[in-house]
Structure 1
Amino acid sequence: MYETIGSPVNLGNVTLKNRIVFAPTTLGVPNDAYLERIEKIAAGGCGMIIIGDVPVQSMPFGNNLYTESGFAFYEKLAETAHKYGCKICAQLHQDDTDLGTLRQYAPQVKAGKLTQDDLRQMINDLVGPYVTNMPVEKVHSIINAFGDAAVLAKKAGFDVMQVHGDRMCGSFASPLFNKRTDSYGDSLENRARFLLEAVEAVRKAVPDMPIDVKLAVRMEQPQYGKAGFTEDELKTVVPMLEKAGADSFHVSLANHASLSDTIPPANHPYFHEEGCFLGFCDTVKQYTNLPVCGVGGLTSPAFVEEQLKTGRIDCAAMSRQLLADPQWTEKVLSGREKEIRRCVRCNKDCLGGMMRHEGTHCIYEKGGK
């Protein structure tokens, strides 16, 4: 009944056993709980898991590929996914938070004088000056780090590399943030250069590995998202990325606005429909024959099958649905569709838990309906 969902698909020289992908997700839980969550999702039958926000540079906090403990953690994630025949992808990521400037506000945050919403707005407000004034030597250093991180990710056992086209890459892409006048600013080609060179750096470092590009799309009418490229700019950018070495695309709304836009609840004023971001995939599909992965409130097996069968998308990425029921894929493919715990897109304990610094969870974990 769901033959397309269960059919294999090639990303470069890597074959996924089916078309379901766990989308990159900030889980915000300790490493043991993170590993347990990933194991449940891999055991649940999906074709690939994307591990979100793998830093391309050494960081003083959290996991990264440059420390012994961080490398071991990523190595364990790859080993865990492979145990169930699931491929694993490293989302190579560079944050665009101006930590140096932000530190001066730490006392106000600790004293409760700045709310989390205030802090998020401040972080976004600092992005433009940070990107615009970044010395070109630092730009080149970060771009080269994408290649360095890819080598380590391959060594850790990852099967696919994803270049995160949002955050730093997306901020350079957007004239709303990027006011540079050198070769990394002004024209579309210059604004796209950071992302293009990051892809090229990965391709040079690991020439035999598939490269997926997360494309961040900025809407203008109505306005949603501030980073990334507009839909009209994709006709220029997508072929350039393909030439730079991309093997596939993961398409979503750009960030730097309300998180309830990029992770929209069922009552969102604009993105309330299932498959709410698939219109961006329609645009990308006009300019490439490479596989395109769609995302956006996907829960219904019948709906997902239709989008895959008609070729609208080649893979379907889910986050909240696989948190609600890690066995979604296995249940669909074994005729147990009625047993699925469907995500209701309430955002109470997923986005809500993340914003409360409690970790990304699901109402079903507490017996919710």
Structure 2
Amino acid sequence: MTSPNTLFDPLTLPCGVTLKNRLAKSAMSDSLGDGTGHPTPPQVRLYQRWAEGGVGLSIIGEVQGSPFVAEKPGNLVLNGSSDLARFQELSNKGRARNAHLWVQLGHGGALAYAPTSTPQGPSALDLPDLQCTALSCAAVKQAPADFAHTAKLAKDAGFGGVQIHAAHGFLLSQFLSPLFNKRTDAYGGSLTNRMRLLLETIETVRTAVGPSFPIAVKLNSSDQLHGGLTEDDSLQVVAALDRTSIDLIDISGGTYFPGAKSASDATSSGPYFLTFARRARALTSKPLMLTGGFKTYDQAHDAVSSGIVDVVGLARAMALEPSLPDLWRAQTTLAPQFPRFATSPQGGVTAWYTMRLSKIATGNTEPDLLDLDAALETYEARDKDRTDIWLRHFGPPN
């Protein structure tokens, strides 16, 4: 177990790589890809801005190996057909001031964006707002190699590490959850079987990238759904992860399944999953990162100095103030001003923050006046435009 440290002490990961501080811009779906799966100049500027603001680590949300499993048409796709030079520009600019820039390895599974994908999960689903078919045995066995191929390309493009996404209801999270995984083969049933795909993916990715390249896992503390992955289940996964070669466990929670309550929309004034992180700390010597609900310097400092976690993941706080790490170091702005919305249409808050990222990417950090309805309309119109580009570039879902 690491000893208690301040937010601006370096952290050396098990693989030997050192992060300059304990503040991470956690993965968000910024939707700033160009519709062909490639980074855009605004996206490059966004990650450069965060690096220049003093963050130790940024993680790019939802980078897929296949265009047919993407969560949004603004996501990145990194495979053998990608223009690696465009990814190299992103990795170069996102490493300003000795920041780390990692790629989150994603697969939408049942949540893959239906207009551009054929959603498939561990088991078939036929719900009012969500339908998918079950992955074949062959496809399940192929998945670790697909994740590993994208990880190796990320390393080749100059990114500093990868995060395997096993949270928020996407594919690997679906396999862990008894609510969505009804398989009767070696990948379903007991928790040992349900975590098999995650553990095989870690092993295959490690073989592809070598021993000195950071690998993180993003894990739900629970699905926050009746019949889903429980905290006790997740703690068993943490114990299993402790026996692997990973370098960091990023704790989060909740799912993006239609109708499910988002943890990020909670009204709690503090970190959402700190109690779970304290329980997880007793089960692993791996560095722990905690994402969700951090709004002030004191909350972040207390979490790290107590020894409960080693890294604090910041998402919406970094969308509001991209220089927050430097401001915290200087003790000048200890809490960004979070907006309060009178009404909240479904998806409106997420749309508002996503459009806020677009604004930062243009160099504008002035306060936003856009209301949720206008943000949602702009966000959905952009998705439609990118969907058209995506389908022209990649073709229809296969």
TM-score interval for Structure 1 and Structure 2 normalised by the shorter chain: 0.7 to 0.9
Q: What is the root-mean-square deviation of aligned Cα atoms in Å?
A: 3.3
- Unpaired runs of 5+ residues, structure 2, are 34-39, 119-126, 360-364, 371-398
- 8 Å Cα contact 2:13/2:287 also seen in 1: yes
Q: 1:163 and 1:145 mapped to 2: Cα distance?
A: 12
Question: 2:86 is matched with which residue?
Answer: 73
Deviation (angstroms), 1:33:
2.1
Instruction: Provide the secondary structure at the position in 1 that maps to 2:28.
Output: coil
Q: 1:357 and 1:274 mapped to 2: Cα distance?
A: 19
Residue of structure 1 aligned with 2:216, choices 198, 212, 215: 212
Shift in CA distance, 98/315, structure 1 to aligned 2, threshold 3 Å = closer
Letter in 1 for 2:256: H
Matches within 5 A, 1:30-109: 31-59=40-68, 62-66=75-79, 71-97=84-110, 102=114
- 8 Å Cα contact 1:164/1:213 also seen in 2: yes
- 8 Å Cα contact 1:8/1:17 also seen in 2: yes
Question: 2:137 is matched with which residue?
Answer: 136
Question: 1:162 is matched with which residue?
Answer: 163
TM-score, scaled to structure 2: 0.76
Letter in 1 for 2:253: L
Shift in CA distance, 330/367, structure 1 to aligned 2, threshold 3 Å = farther
Deviation (angstroms), 1:145:
0.6
Question: 1:300 is matched with which residue?
Answer: 296
Matches within 5 A, 1:198-277: 198-208=201-211, 209-218=213-222, 223-224=224-225, 229-257=229-257, 258=259, 261-266=262-267, 272-277=268-273
Q: How many residues align?
A: 338
Show CA shifts across 1:302-326 (max 9, x none). 2211111011111000011011001
Deviation (angstroms), 1:253:
0.5
Q: 2:256 and 2:182 mapped to 1: Cα distance?
A: 16
- 8 Å Cα contact 1:197/1:244 also seen in 2: no
Shift in CA distance, 324/259, structure 1 to aligned 2, threshold 3 Å = farther
Q: 2:193 and 2:23 mapped to 1: Cα distance?
A: 35
Deviation (angstroms), 1:345:
6.6
Instruction: Provide the secondary structure at the position in 2 that maps to 1:29.
Output: coil
> Quick check: 1:174 aligned with 2:181?
no
Instruction: Provide the secondary structure at the position in 2 that maps to 1:137.
Output: helix
Shift in CA distance, 279/138, structure 1 to aligned 2, threshold 3 Å = same
> Quick check: 1:126 aligned with 2:126?
no
Shift in CA distance, 152/300, structure 1 to aligned 2, threshold 3 Å = same
Letter in 1 for 2:152: V
Shift in CA distance, 104/202, structure 1 to aligned 2, threshold 3 Å = closer
- 8 Å Cα contact 1:350/1:360 also seen in 2: no
Letter in 2 for 1:42: A
Shift in CA distance, 35/215, structure 1 to aligned 2, threshold 3 Å = same
Q: 2:108 and 2:116 mapped to 1: Cα distance?
A: 19
Show CA shifts across 1:341-362 (max 9, x none). 3334759799626548973548
Shift in CA distance, 350/4, structure 1 to aligned 2, threshold 3 Å = farther
Decide which moves more: 21-30 or 173-182: 21-30
Shift in CA distance, 103/28, structure 1 to aligned 2, threshold 3 Å = closer
Show CA shifts across 1:103-162 (max 9, x none). 5999xxxxxxxxxxxxxx755x325xx3xx321101111221111111101001111211
Q: 1:224 and 1:302 mapped to 2: Cα distance?
A: 30
- 8 Å Cα contact 1:225/1:254 also seen in 2: no
Letter in 2 for 1:236: Q
- 8 Å Cα contact 1:301/1:332 also seen in 2: yes
Q: 1:160 and 1:105 mapped to 2: Cα distance?
A: 27
- 8 Å Cα contact 2:48/2:93 also seen in 1: yes
- 8 Å Cα contact 1:238/1:287 also seen in 2: yes
**Percent of aligned pairs sharing the same letter:** 26
Decide which moves more: 272-281 or 169-178: 272-281
Shift in CA distance, 290/196, structure 1 to aligned 2, threshold 3 Å = same
Deviation (angstroms), 1:70:
5.1
Q: 2:7 and 2:346 mapped to 1: Cα distance?
A: 25
- Unpaired runs of 5+ residues, structure 1, are 107-120, 267-271
Q: 2:242 and 2:254 mapped to 1: Cα distance?
A: 20
Q: 1:358 and 1:18 mapped to 2: Cα distance?
A: 26
Q: 1:226 and 1:20 mapped to 2: Cα distance?
A: 34
Letter in 2 for 1:155: D
Question: 1:288 is matched with which residue?
Answer: 284
Deviation (angstroms), 1:224:
3.9
Deviation (angstroms), 1:183:
0.2
